[in-house]
C-alpha cells in the first residue's frame, strides 16, 4: 500500500476517534449541568462550536428540549419538540420521539395537540403495542377524568426503580387524585412528579 494512502487512512481514523471523543465530552458536560439544575449552562454547552459539529441535529434539539422543559420555558421546549417530531425520522425513531411529544403536550394540557400525536403514534409502522396502550391510557385518565387505576399504579410505583417510569406514574396519580377531588394526594404526587422530571438523567439518542 502506498505511504500516501496509509497516511490518509490514519488521518481518517484519528478524525473519527477525535470526533467521538468530543461528542462524549460534550454529552457528559451537558449531563453534568443538567443533573445539577444548571440548565442555562447546559444549553451554553450545546452552543459551543465543537458540540454543534459533533452532536447530531436530532440530539441537539432533544437535549435542548429537556433543558427548556426543566426550566419551565414552555415556548422554547415546544419549539424544540415540534422540530424533533417534524424531522425526517425513521419509524423506529418516530416510535421513540412521538410518545415523548405526546406526554409533553398532555403535561402542558394541550389536548388538541396531544390528540393529534396519539393518532400519529397509532399510525407508526411496527410500533410496540404497549406504547400505544400507555399513551391511550394517559389520554383517557387526563381527559376522561378517570381515577380507577390509582391502586394499581401505586403498587407499580412501589415496584419501579426507573426514575422515568416513576415520573410517569406520579403524573398519572396526580391527575387521578385531582379527578377524584383528593387535593392532598394530588398535590403530593404533583410535587414528586416535578422533582423526578428535573432530576431524570437524559436518555442517549442517535
Calculate the average pLDDT of the chain. Answer: 87
Distance from C-alpha of 147 to C-alpha of 172, rounded to nearest angstrom: 9
Instruction: Answer whether residue 71 is part of any domain.
Output: no
Residue 11: per-residue pLDDT: 43
Mean pLDDT value of segment 29-47: 92
In a domain, 187, yes or no: yes
Q: What tens digit of pLDDT does each residue of 49-64 get?
A: 888 988 999 999 999 9
The pLDDT tens digits for 94-152 are: 999 999 999 999 999 999 999 999 999 999 998 999 999 999 999 999 998 889 999 99
Whether the per-residue pLDDT at 206 is higher than 60: the answer is: no
One DSSP character per residue, 3-30 reads: HHHHHHHHHHHHHHHHHHHHHHHHHHHH
Question: Number of helices (H) and strands (E), helices first, in the chain?
Answer: 11, 0
Q: Indicate whether 189 belongs to any domain.
A: yes
Range of the structural domain that residue 198 is part of: 145-206
Q: In degrees to the nearest 10, what's the CA dihedral of 48, 77, 83, 15?
A: 20
pTM exceeds 0.95, yes or no = no
In the chain, how many domains are there? 1
Indicate the range of 18-27, 41-50, 82-91 predicted with least confidence. 18-27
Q: Does some domain include residue 194?
A: yes
In a domain, 149, yes or no: yes
In a domain, 31, yes or no: no
pLDDT digits (tens, 9 = 90+) for 153-201: 999 999 998 988 999 999 999 999 999 999 999 999 999 998 887 766 5
Half-sphere exposure of 163 (CA within 13 A, CB side): 11
Query: Is residue 180 a part of any domain in this protein?
Result: yes
- Answer whether residue 96 is part of any domain: no
- Pull the grid cell for residue 169: 406514574
Amino acid at each position: 500500500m502506498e505511504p500516501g494512502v496509509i497516511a490518509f487512512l490514519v488521518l481518517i481514523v484519528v478524525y473519527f476517534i477525535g470526533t467521538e471523543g468530543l461528542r462524549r465530552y460534550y454529552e457528559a458536560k451537558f449531563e453534568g449541568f443538567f443533573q445539577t439544575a444548571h440548565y442555562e449552562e447546559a444549553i451554553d454547552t450545546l452552543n459551543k462550536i465543537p458540540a454543534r459539529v459533533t452532536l447530531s441535529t436530532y440530539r441537539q434539539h432533544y437535549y435542548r428540549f429537556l433543558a427548556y422543559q426543566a426550566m419551565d420555558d414552555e415556548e422554547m421546549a415546544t419549539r424544540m419538540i415540534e422540530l424533533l417530531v417534524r424531522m425526517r425520522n425513521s419509524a423506529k425513531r418516530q416510535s421513540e420521539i412521538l410518545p415523548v411529544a405526546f406526554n409533553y403536550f398532555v403535561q402542558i394540557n394541550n389536548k388538541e395537540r396531544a390528540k393529534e400525536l396519539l393518532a400519529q403514534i397509532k399510525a407508526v409502522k411496527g410500533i410496540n403495542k404497549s406504547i400505544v396502550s400507555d399513551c391511550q391510557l394517559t389520554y383517557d385518565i387526563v381527559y376522561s377524568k378517570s381515577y380507577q387505576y390509582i391502586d394499581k399504579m401505586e403498587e407499580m410505583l412501589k415496584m419501579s426503580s426507573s426514575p422515568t417510569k416513576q415520573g410517569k406514574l406520579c403524573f398519572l396519580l396526580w391527575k387521578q387524585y385531582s379527578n377524584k377531588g383528593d387535593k392532598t394526594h394530588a398535590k403530593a404526587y404533583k410535587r414528586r412528579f416535578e422533582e423526578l422530571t428535573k432530576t431524570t438523567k437524559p436518555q442517549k439518542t442517535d
